[in-house]
Amino acid sequence: MTQKQTPSQTIGPFFAYGLTPEQYGYNLTSIAAPEVAKKDQEGERIRIEGQIFDGEGTAVGDAMVEIWQADAAGRYPHSADSRGSNADFTGFGRVGTGTDPEQRFFFETIKPGAAGDGQAPHINVIVFMRGMLNHAYTRIYFSDEVEANAADPVLAGIPDDRRGTLIAKRDDSSAGPVYRFNIHMQGADETVFFDL
Amino acid sequence: MTDKLGFKSRDWNSHPAYLSPDYKSTALRSPTKPLVPLAQSLSEITGPVYGHESVGPLDADLTRNAAAAGEPLGERIIVTGRVLDEDGRALPNTLIEVWQANAAGRYVHAADQHDAPLDPNFFGGGRCATNAEGWYSFKTIKPGAYPWGNHLNAWRPNHIHFSLFGPSFATRLITQMYFPGDPLLDLDPIFLATPQAARGRLVADFSLEATEPGVALGYRFDIVLRGRNETPMEN
Ligand SMILES: [Fe+3]
C-alpha cells in the first residue's frame, strides 16, 4: 500500500538534552558523540572542526551536525555494504555547536578510505538547526586527496567556483592533523547541499 | 553509481520549503542555491544502525525516567504508532528519539527562558525502538504550549519532537508530532510551512484503543520514511 512521506520539521533550539545530552551536561546517556573512533581504531586519527555561518556571517550556536563515514578501508559498518566492517566502528558522530565559545563543531575520528566505487574519500554530513525545516546534506572531502578528488564523479558535477566549499583544509600545525570545514548557509561561499 | 540504486527521493510536495518567510528564522538559514542532485551510492544507502540496544530500561517512560521525589505533573499519555516506508513496509528495530516541553510548556534546556515552572520530576527526553512489525510506543506527559519570539503573541502548539534514522543515511528524518483539535495549529508558521495536503500527517489521532484505562490517554502517530527504489541492483 502506498504511503506518503511524513513531512520534516525543524529540530528547534532545544534539542540538546534529548539528542546530545552528555555533551551539554544533561543526565541522559548519549547514543553518539563527537568522538567517532575509539583509540585503537585502525586508521589515521584526525580532527574535523568548523563553524556554521548564517546569511549575515554570524556563527550559529544552536545547530547539530551528524557525520557518517566509512572505515580506513572504505567499508561502511552496515548490512548494505557486503564487505563488512569492523563491528566496533559505528561510523557515526553527532555534535551540537552550543558548547564551544566560538560555536565550533568538532569530531575526533579516523580518515575514511575510498569505498572503491570511483569516489574520493569523503565524510557524509547532515546539518540541522532552528530555522531549517529540512535537514541539509553535504559532504566533507579532504584537501590532501588531490588526485582522488580530481577523479571524483560528484565533485566533477559541481561548478568550479563552488567545488571548494566541500573540501576541508588539512592543517598539520597541531599535535595531530586537523581538517577545517566551515559551512555557509548563504552568501558568496554558500556550501553545496545535496538532494539525494 | 546508478540512480536506480537505493531510496526514493525526498518528496518535496510533502516537506516544507527551506525558505518559509512566515517562520522568520528561515530567512538567514535556508540555502539560497538549488540543491545539487546526488546519485545514491554506498554513502547514502548505508547509515547509522541504532535499535533496541540503544534503549535503556526507563527510556520509553518519560513519566518515570526522571521521577526524583514523585511523579511529574500533567496529563499522562501514551504515544504509539507504526514506522513504515512509502510502500507500506514496516521498518523493524529502528530507533526513535523524542524530546518535549513539560506540562507547563517549559523545556529542561538551559536556553529556554520561558517563565513557566520546571517540573523536578520531568526531564522530557526519551527513546524507544520499533518492534518486528514496526510498532513503537512510549509513555509521557502531554506537553504544554509555549510562547516564542517569531512574531507578537506567537505560541507553539503542543508538540513532541521526533528523530528517526530508518535504514539509511537517506531516510533520516526529524519531525514534530502535534495533537488533534489544537487551535494553535492554524496560527503556527512552522506547522503551516508544510504543504497543506501533507499537514494532517503531522497530527496524531486520539486512540481509545491505545488508551490505558485509568492511567493514560492514547494517541496514534504513524511515521512514513522514504521507500526503496524497485529496480533491482545488477549483481
Ligand atoms: Fe519545541
Residues A23/A100, Cβ–Cβ less than 8 Å: no
Q: Which residues contact A142 (CB under 8 A, 6 or more apart)?
A: A111, A120, A121, A122, A149, A167, A168, A170, A179
Percent of chain B's residues with pLDDT above 70: 96
User: Which pLDDT value is given to residue A83?
Assistant: 87
Contacts of B25 in chain A (CB under 8 A): 130-131
Among residues A19, A17, A30, the alpha carbon closest in space to that of B118 is found at A17
User: Which pLDDT value is given to residue B28?
Assistant: 98
B86, B87, B99: best to mutate for the A interface, most A CBs within 10 A? B99
- Other beta carbons within 10 Å of A175: 7
User: Which pLDDT value is given to residue A86?
Assistant: 65
Is the per-residue pLDDT at B235 higher than 60? no
Interface check for B28 against chain A (CB to CB < 8 A): the answer is yes
Interface check for A180 against chain B (CB to CB < 8 A): the answer is no
Dist. CA B50–CA B167, nearest whole Å: 9
Measure A141 CA to ligand 1 centroid, in angstroms: 34
To the nearest whole angstrom, how far is the Cα of A19 from the nearest Cα of chain B? 7
To the nearest whole angstrom, how far is the Cα of B58 from the nearest Cα of chain A? 11
CA–CA distance from B96 to each of A90, A161, B64, B160, B171 (Å)?
Answer: 18, 39, 18, 12, 13
To the nearest whole angstrom, how far is the Cα of B199 from the nearest Cα of chain A? 8
Alpha helices in chain B (DSSP H): 26-29, 42-45, 189-192, 196-199
Is the per-residue pLDDT at B4 higher than 80? no
Backbone angles phi, psi at B197, to 5 degrees: -65, -20
User: Which pLDDT value is given to residue A82?
Assistant: 87
> Whole-prediction pTM value?
0.97
User: Which pLDDT value is given to residue A88?
Assistant: 80
Contacts of B49 in chain A (CB under 8 A): 77-79, 90
Dist. CA A63–CA A95, nearest whole Å: 9
Low-confidence residues in chain A, pLDDT < 50: none
Dist. CA A184–CA A189, nearest whole Å: 6
Residue burial A80-115, b: 16+ Cβ < 10 Å; e: rest: ebeeebbeebbbbbbbbbbbeeebbbbbbbbbbbbb
Interface check for A154 against chain B (CB to CB < 8 A): the answer is yes
Reported as a single tens digit per residue, the pLDDT across B123-165 is 999 999 999 999 999 999 999 999 999 999 999 999 999 999 9
* C-alpha cell belonging to residue B70: 514523585
User: Which pLDDT value is given to residue B234?
Assistant: 45
The whole-angstrom distance between residue B47's C-alpha and the CA centroid of its chain comes to: 19
User: Which pLDDT value is given to residue A155?
Assistant: 98
- Name the pLDDT band for B3 (thresholds 50, 70, 90): very low
Residues of B identified as active-site: 107, 146, 156, 159, 161
For B166-175, what is the mean pLDDT?
Answer: 97
User: Which pLDDT value is given to residue B1?
Assistant: 40
Reported as a single tens digit per residue, the pLDDT across B75-106 is 999 999 999 999 999 999 999 999 999 999 99
Contact B9 A3 (CB under 8 A): no
List, as ranges, residues 10-29 from A with C-beta within 8 Å of B: 10-19, 21, 24, 26-29
User: Which pLDDT value is given to residue B2?
Assistant: 41
Q: What is the dihedral of CA A67, B21, A6, B187, to 10 degrees?
A: 130
Measure B156 CA to ligand 1 centroid, in angstroms: 7
Reported as a single tens digit per residue, the pLDDT across A31-50 is 999 999 988 899 999 999 99
Contact B225 A21 (CB under 8 A): no
- Other beta carbons within 10 Å of A194: 19
User: Which pLDDT value is given to residue A84?
Assistant: 75
Residues B164/B180, Cβ–Cβ less than 8 Å: no
Helix (H, G, I), strand (E, B) or coil at B142: coil
- The vertex-B120 CA angle with B118 and B121, nearest 5°, equals 120
What is chain B's mean pLDDT, rounded?
95
**CB-closest option in A21, A133, A157 to B20:** A133
Contact A133 B15 (CB under 8 A): yes
Helix (H, G, I), strand (E, B) or coil at A109: strand
Dist. CA B112–CA B147, nearest whole Å: 11
